[in-house]
Amino acid sequence: MLKDYLRLHFIVLLWGFTAILGKLISLPPVELVFWRTLLASVGLAVLLMVRGQGWQMPLGSALRLLSVGVLVAIHWITFFLAARLSSVSVCLAGLATLALWASLLEPLLLWRRVRGYEVGLGLLTMVGLYLVSQAELDQLLGLSVAILSAGLSALFSVLNSKLVKQHSPLRLTFYEMMGACLAIVVFLPIYGRYFTAGAGLHLAPAPLDWLWLFVLAGACTVYAFSSSVELMKRLSAFVINLTINLEPVYGIGLAVLIFGQQEKMSGGFYLGIVVIFFSVLIHPVLDQWNQRRQRKPEPMEAVL
| pLDDT value, residue 112 | 74
Between 261 and 22, the higher pLDDT residue:
22
Euclidean distance between CA atoms 25 and 263, whole angstroms: 17
245 contacts 283 by C-beta, under 8 angstroms:
yes
Residue 284, number of CB atoms within 10 A of its CB: 19
Between 10 and 169, the higher pLDDT residue:
10
Instruction: Give mean pLDDT, residues 216-227.
Output: 89
| pLDDT value, residue 204 | 94
| pLDDT value, residue 241 | 67
Per-residue confidence band for 293, with pLDDT thresholds at 50, 70 and 90: confident
Per-residue confidence band for 302, with pLDDT thresholds at 50, 70 and 90: very low
Euclidean distance between CA atoms 212 and 23, whole angstroms: 10
| pLDDT value, residue 142 | 93
Residue 147 has pLDDT above 90, yes or no: yes
Average pLDDT, rounded, for the chain: 86
Euclidean distance between CA atoms 279 and 295, whole angstroms: 24
Angle (nearest 5°) at CA 48 between 45 and 51: 150
What tens digit of pLDDT does each residue of 224-280 get?
A: 887 887 787 777 666 776 777 788 888 888 998 898 888 878 888 889 888 888 887
| pLDDT value, residue 217 | 94
Instruction: Give mean pLDDT, residues 169-181.
Output: 91
Highest mean pLDDT among 94-103, 225-234, 282-291: 94-103
Residue 5 has pLDDT above 70, yes or no: yes
